[in-house]
């Protein structure tokens, strides 16, 4: 019972985090464009232009909150949810520009938090108030009734949401602003690594980066022109240190680990998909201390050099970080040293962890039981033409937290394997876990997300992986799919 409770709690926490990130991830490109615009035409930018700078406020005050509300509503109740969420965004945005809000916060504000809260909330209200009669409307009147109900409900919600946003979001912004100022004044940013790094390992990285740091950092950029918050979770240094440690100090018995760690580094460091290094930390849970140590050193360096980015860094690639960092020699130098120092310190701690556990542990190091099984089976596995499927289409879904990172990479590898084996009847797609419809037959996901996928679609055949780069496990899955179908 206790184990079940822990799994259920983990699923709920991951789902909540995914809900927050799902409103930000699809429009990261817009944040990047807005950040570049700010970098160039802001009064403190590279090429200040007062006329063009008016676009900065239009983007962050109106366009981005509206899109966040739209995406949040769509996730809850498809296009009808998106429509009413966009409607109540009028009240949310107006609240941030009202004199009442300015009296509380002493300035107008971008209502990213308000859009993230009240957009999905309006969609939930619509969904649960009309579900009792939506399918009972007489034929020919559906469009009339549905549109009028959405419009009237949206009109009614505008007024309470306006005043709730003024006071609730207003005082919340004040509290969060004071918290950020306190962290800056008391030099507390390094300690955030104690929370950030373990949370990333449990696939809460998108929730932290996009659900928490993005709205706080965006507000700080509006005031100061840059924010350190965008760099804390996205720093690839701590994970890089652990991967290098496995390559150098993994030992002779762990050639498979060393090879996979080497192939993971470009995807993590350059591609910005941090999820690929999580399994290497979980091989020895004490390595969590290594990434925490690396994170503390990196954050401390960022803090000492007063480094900041002008927009969210996503994906967490070293390329994205240098694109979004404030273009000042001190910021660029501090960012470079922060990444190098965090990777180096993480590498040192990871080496000590691997060395000491290998020396004093009585158990032989293995990657995971799944990998060992895959390695043994793959020796005798060979998909030939007699095993191919010719008369039936098989749909395979790769599922990850956001549906835009590791699942895309995994599905690409899987497709290439199918192509090399001349198997044309298995179709592969990728989705966020929250977007699973419940009718999927075969799902492939990472082991840490297995419980969430199972809760979303208990009837599917779910294959779990130790990591998305495990080609031998993919070959085993292909063999099993073919055998079961035949």
What token pair was written down for 414?
């899987």
Residue 9 is predicted with a pLDDT of 67
**Maximum mean pLDDT: which of 72-76, 213-217, 360-364:** 72-76
Which single residue is written with the structure tokens 């570049």?
Answer: 36
Whether 152 and 29 share a structural domain: yes
**Residue range of the domain that includes 415:** 379-485
Residue 410 is predicted with a pLDDT of 85
Whether 206 and 233 share a structural domain: no
Residue 180 is predicted with a pLDDT of 82
Dihedral class, residue 463 (left if φ above 0, else alpha if ψ from -120 to 50, else beta): beta
pLDDT band at 172 (very low <50, low <70, confident <90, very high): confident
Separation between Cα atoms, residue 114 and residue 234, nearest integer Å: 24
Question: For residue range 400-426, what is the model confidence (pLDDT) as tens digits?
Answer: 877 777 788 888 889 888 888 888 888
Contact 214, 24 (CB under 8 A): yes
Whether 115 and 165 share a structural domain: yes
Whether 70 and 219 share a structural domain: yes
pLDDT band at 175 (very low <50, low <70, confident <90, very high): confident
Q: Which residues contact 65 (CB under 8 A, 6 or more apart)?
A: 89, 92, 93, 110, 111, 112, 114, 115
Whether 162 and 182 share a structural domain: yes
What is the sign, positive or negative, of the torsion defined by CA atoms of 434, 438, 440, 441? positive
Respond yes or no: is residue 349 known to be catalytic.
no
Marked catalytic residue, from 56, 169, 400, 481: 400
Residue 461 main-chain phi, psi, to 5 deg: -85, 115
Which single residue is written with the structure tokens 């009614």?
Answer: 156
CA distances from 283 to 12, 76, 79, 277, 371 (A): 24, 36, 43, 10, 12
Whether 239 and 132 share a structural domain: no
Question: For residue range 320-378, what is the model confidence (pLDDT) as tens digits?
Answer: 899 889 888 999 999 999 999 999 999 999 999 888 877 766 554 444 443 344 334 43
Domain at 473, CATH number: 3.40.50.2300
What token pair was written down for 251?
């030992």
Residue 82 is predicted with a pLDDT of 94
443 three-state secondary structure: strand
Provide the 10 A C-beta neighbour count for residue 270.
Answer: 14
Name which of 108, 71, 73 is nearest 93 in CA terms: 108
Q: Residue 133, Cα to own-chain centre: how many angstroms?
A: 37
Last residue of a domain, one of 348, 370, 392: 370
Whether 51 and 196 share a structural domain: yes
pLDDT of 300 > 90? The answer is yes
Residue 370 is predicted with a pLDDT of 39
Whether 387 and 480 share a structural domain: yes
Contact 243, 221 (CB under 8 A): no
Which single residue is written with the structure tokens 């899109």?
Answer: 67
Contact 194, 296 (CB under 8 A): yes
Whether 240 and 168 share a structural domain: no
Whether 101 and 161 share a structural domain: yes
Q: Which residues contact 136 (CB under 8 A, 6 or more apart)?
A: none
β 426-432/461-465 pair status: unpaired
What is the sign, positive or negative, of the torsion defined by CA atoms of 181, 191, 34, 24? negative
What token pair was written down for 460?
């599917």
Contact 461, 403 (CB under 8 A): no
Whether 167 and 249 share a structural domain: no
Last residue of a domain, one of 304, 335, 370: 370
Length of the chain: 486
Question: For residue range 241-275, what is the model confidence (pLDDT) as tens digits?
Answer: 999 999 888 765 567 778 888 888 998 999 888 88
Of residues 208 and 362, the one with the higher pLDDT is 208
468 three-state secondary structure: coil
What token pair was written down for 349?
């701690």
pLDDT band at 121 (very low <50, low <70, confident <90, very high): very high
Which single residue is written with the structure tokens 């020699």?
Answer: 329
Contact 268, 239 (CB under 8 A): yes
Does this model's pTM top 0.85? My answer is: no
Question: For residue range 6-61, what is the model confidence (pLDDT) as tens digits?
Answer: 667 666 766 766 777 778 878 888 888 888 888 788 777 778 888 898 898 899 89
Residue 400 main-chain phi, psi, to 5 deg: -140, -175
Last residue of a domain, one of 203, 223, 243: 223
**Maximum mean pLDDT: which of 164-173, 256-265, 461-470:** 164-173
What token pair was written down for 11?
């699923």
Residue 448 is predicted with a pLDDT of 79
Instruction: Work out the percent of the chain whose per-residue pLDDT is above 70.
Output: 87
Residue 398 main-chain phi, psi, to 5 deg: -90, 125
Of residues 168 and 424, the one with the higher pLDDT is 168
Whether 65 and 190 share a structural domain: yes
* Number of domains, the chain: 3
Residue 463 is predicted with a pLDDT of 92
């Amino acid at each position: 019972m206790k184990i079940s409770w822990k799994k259920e709690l983990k699923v709920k926490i991951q789902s909540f985090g995914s809900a927050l990130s799902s409103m930000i991830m699809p429009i990261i490109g817009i944040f990047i464009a807005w950040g570049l615009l700010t970098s160039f035409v802001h009064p403190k930018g590279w090429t200040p232009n007062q006329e063009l700078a008016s676009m900065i406020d239009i983007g962050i005050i109106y366009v981005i909150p509206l899109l966040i509300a739209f995406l949040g509503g769509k996730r809850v109740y498809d296009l009808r949810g998106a429509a009413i969420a966009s409607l109540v965004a009028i009240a949310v945005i107006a609240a941030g520009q009202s004199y009442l809000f300015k009296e509380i916060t002493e300035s107008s504000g971008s209502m990213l938090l308000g859009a993230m809260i009240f957009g999905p909330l309006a969609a939930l209200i619509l969904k649960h108030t009309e579900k009792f009669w939506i399918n009972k409307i007489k034929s020919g009147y559906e469009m009339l009734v549905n549109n009028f109900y959405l419009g009237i409900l949206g009109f009614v919600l505008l007024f309470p949401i306006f005043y709730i946003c003024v006071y609730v979001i207003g005082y919340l912004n004040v509290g969060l602003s004071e918290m950020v100022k306190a962290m800056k004044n008391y030099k507390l940013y390094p300690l955030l690594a104690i929370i950030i790094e373990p949370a990333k390992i449990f696939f809460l990285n998108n929730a932290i980066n996009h659900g928490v740091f993005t709205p706080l950092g965006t507000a700080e950029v509006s005031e100061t022109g840059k924010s350190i918050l965008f760099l804390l979770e996205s720093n690839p240094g701590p994970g890089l240190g652990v991967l290098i440690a496995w390559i150098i100090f993994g030992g002779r018995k762990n050639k498979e680990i060393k090879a996979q760690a080497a192939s993971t580094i470009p995807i993590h460091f350059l591609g910005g998909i941090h999820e690929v290094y999580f399994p290497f930390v979980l091989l020895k849970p004490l390595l969590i201390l290594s990434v925490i140590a690396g994170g503390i050193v990196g954050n401390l360096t960022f803090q000492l050099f007063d480094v900041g980015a002008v927009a969210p860094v996503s994906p967490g690639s070293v390329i994205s970080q240098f694109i979004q960092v404030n273009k000042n020699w001190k910021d660029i130098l501090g960012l470079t040293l922060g990444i190098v120092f965090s990777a180096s310190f993480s590498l040192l701690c990871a080496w000590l962890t691997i060395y000491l556990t290998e020396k004093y542990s009585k158990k032989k190091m293995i990657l995971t039981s799944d990998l060992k099984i895959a390695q043994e089976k793959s020796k005798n596995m060979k998909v030939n033409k007699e095993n191919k499927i010719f008369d039936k289409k098989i749909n395979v879904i790769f599922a990850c937290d956001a549906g835009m990172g590791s699942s895309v990479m995994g599905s690409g590898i899987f497709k290439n394997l199918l192509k090399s084996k001349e198997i044309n009847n298995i179709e592969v797609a990728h989705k966020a876990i929250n977007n699973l419809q419940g009718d999927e037959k075969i799902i492939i996901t990472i082991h840490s997300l297995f419980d969430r996928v199972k809760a979303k679609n208990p009837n599917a055949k779910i294959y779990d992986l130790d990591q998305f780069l495990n080609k031998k496990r993919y070959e085993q899955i292909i063999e099993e799919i073919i055998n079961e179908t035949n």
